[in-house]
A and B are shown apart, each in its own frame.
Chain A
Amino acid sequence: MDEYQVIVVGGGVGGIAASIKLAQAGVKVVLVDRGSPVGSKNLSGGVLWGNDLTEILPNWQDEAPIERFVYNKKVGFLSENDATVLDLHFPEWEKKPYVGSIVLRARFDAWLAEEAKKAGVVVLEGINVDNLIIEDNYVRGIISSGEELRAPVTIIMDGANSRLTHELGIRKGKNLSEEKSKFALGVKEVISLDRETLEERFNLQDKEGVAGEFVLGNQSNEVLAGGFLYTNYDSISLGIIVHLDTLGTKDRSYEVFNKFKEHPYISKLLRKGDVLMDHVEYGAHLVPEGGINTLTRIHGNGYMVGGDAAGFIFSNGLVIQGMNYAIKSGLLAAKATKAALDKKDYSELSLIEYTKMIEASFIYKDLKKFSKVHKMTKNKNLFKIYPKAINEGLKRALSETNQPKNHLYKTMLNSLKEHGAGLFTLLKDARGAMRL
């Protein structure tokens, strides 16, 4: 008889949520994470969108260490020195439940792990899972430093850089380098800025925060990258996400970040007087953008896979979401596990309930509907033409030059044409934009 009924591998938000849900249902569950404390290996942009945690922690938005709640969204187009930035205000966003929670994962996930302990989860910190125990075509548990831990069900949520899905041989690419087109890299700094200056600069009160996403038209060579800026309580999370298959021999991922940080629009936001504020942390994390094309299967005999490990990331250029998909998949894995334990059937025929629930949920529907969105989000014109053309066109339309003026639309069309987007390109990309 195994000591535990379920092993959850990975203390990100998805794995911890799964473990809490199981403990609340009276299941003997152990959560294993390689970080010590839990959270110290975790990194996101990071806005946690949605309210999925409510299912297990009804008051999480009051109790968790949340930096700020998104009440203002910015979407910007940056060219070499110019910027056009949409500034979006929706009063509903200022009310509970908040739609976007800005978090720093090492703090947030550590809190969530404490909640798991309170719920009765046994949390093993600083334990790396070297291998799965696979016997008779069943996953029977895990091996760490030569020691075995067994349970009827293993929930695998070991993250974007998942090692265990490789061991299981369920990734669609034969090896990781074949998967280059399915990954982006996030590179991020946390930059200190005192609360008073930050709130004045962004016009924030109390827990209000800003989430900004930027199309980076200021990058060299073939590099396609987006930028983000999120306000924390007394710091700013600033970062880029670069498609790995667009980095050439002469490019550097950290230079992509530097170019974003040094853009005049951005660097002004990071100063106090003449002084550029210091970064207090630097980090990087993969973004698995493969969606439903990541794994050949997400369940099997004795196991289920969720979160980043399964490629559950949604991105359409305006938002990039992963934490909410991880939480949702963790909760569904917990539900399927409970049903399997009640039936005492841990075969793939029993755990297929997980896949069915995923397919019926917003996770699969979103990922399926947007599975071709990369055709637009990886459309070179979006990065290489439109930011420059928009900024140049608007600048011309709004600057007084003592020259005869043109209608705005004509100025814009001329600018687009000069930068390489004639009418046919515009029509084609407009069709592409319908995928967003």
Chain B
Amino acid sequence: MSNFTDMDDDIGPIKNKLGVLNYNIDDETHAHIKVNTEVCEKCPHHLCISGCPVRCFNFMEVDGEVKMVFQYEDCVECGTCDIMCDQGAVSWHNPRGSFGIQYEMG
């Protein structure tokens, strides 16, 4: 297993920041980004975590095991993870029309 440098991060502040945003969240079967998290376990850098401005990528303890968890709901659709991931784990599409982030100022 590679290093889990993010396990000590306090993601509270960045997640709190998103409270002001409006989303029209699509159901999970239509999630616009799919991440093959098994690939993440062998990844040497986890630059997705470094790049994502809303911290959709996190290592978490699931059933006693530390696993990459991807959460599409907070995504602001910037596309950074698709660039940062060179391991082929990220499959990126636009959300279906009118779903996803809705900026009021932009």
Contact = CB atoms under 8 A, between A and B. Distances in A.
Contacts of A56: none
A382 B94 CA distance: 36
A252 B9 contact: yes
Interface in A211-254: 235, 244, 247-254
Interface in B52-98: 52-55, 76-80, 82-86, 92-98
A281 B5 contact: no
Contact of B98 (A34, A109, A183): A34
B21 A282 contact: yes
* A34, A46, A248: residue with the most chain B Cβ atoms closer than 10 Å: A34
B35 interface: no
Contact of B94 (A107, A163, A279, A282): A163
Interface residues of B, number: 43
B103 A40 contact: yes
B101 A282 contact: no
Interface string A285-317: 110000000000000000000000000000000
A263 interface: no
Interface of B: 3, 5, 9, 13-14, 17-18, 20-21, 45-47, 49-55, 76-80, 82-86, 92-98, 100-106
Contacts of B92: 163
A396 interface: no
A136 B68 CA distance: 43
Contacts of A279: 17, 20
Interface footprint category on A: 35 or more
B50 A177 contact: no
A182 to B, nearest CB: 9
Contacts of A104: 105-106
A61 interface: no
A42 B103 contact: yes
B105 A127 contact: no
Given A34-B98, A125-B98, A244 B21 contact: no
Contacts of B100: 41
Nearest to B14: A254
Contacts of B55: 252, 254
A282 B51 contact: no
Contact of B54 (A43, A130, A178, A284): A284
A249 B97 contact: no
A247 B97 contact: no
A283 B97 contact: no
A253 B103 contact: no
B95 A128 contact: yes
A161 interface: yes
A390 B50 CA distance: 30
A144 interface: yes
B64 to A, nearest CB: 25
Contacts of B21: 281-283
Contact of B78 (A161, A178, A258): A161
B106 A286 contact: no
A140 interface: no
B46 A40 contact: no
A430 interface: no
A101 B48 CA distance: 34
A258 B16 CA distance: 14
15 contacts: A36-B97, A39-B103, A40-B106, A41-B103, A42-B106, A46-B106, A163-B92, A176-B83, A189-B17, A247-B47, A248-B50, A281-B20, A282-B18, A282-B21, A283-B106
A145 B14 contact: no
B51 A249 contact: no
A125 B24 CA distance: 15
Contacts of B95: 34, 128
User: What are the 9 closest A-B residue pairs judged by CB atoms, nearest first?
Assistant: A126-B98, A161-B79, A106-B106, A177-B86, A105-B106, A284-B53, A36-B98, A104-B105, A126-B97
A280 interface: yes
A367 to B, nearest CB: 21
B97 A284 contact: no
A157 to B, nearest CB: 14
B20 A282 contact: yes
B98 A247 contact: no
Contacts of A40: 101-104, 106
Contacts of A271: none
Contact of B83 (A41, A180, A257, A284): A180
Contacts of B77: 41, 161
A17 B11 CA distance: 40
B49 to A, nearest CB: 7
Nearest to B22: A40
A250 B80 contact: no
A5 B97 CA distance: 23
Interface in A135-191: 144-145, 160-161, 163, 176-180, 183, 185, 187, 189-190
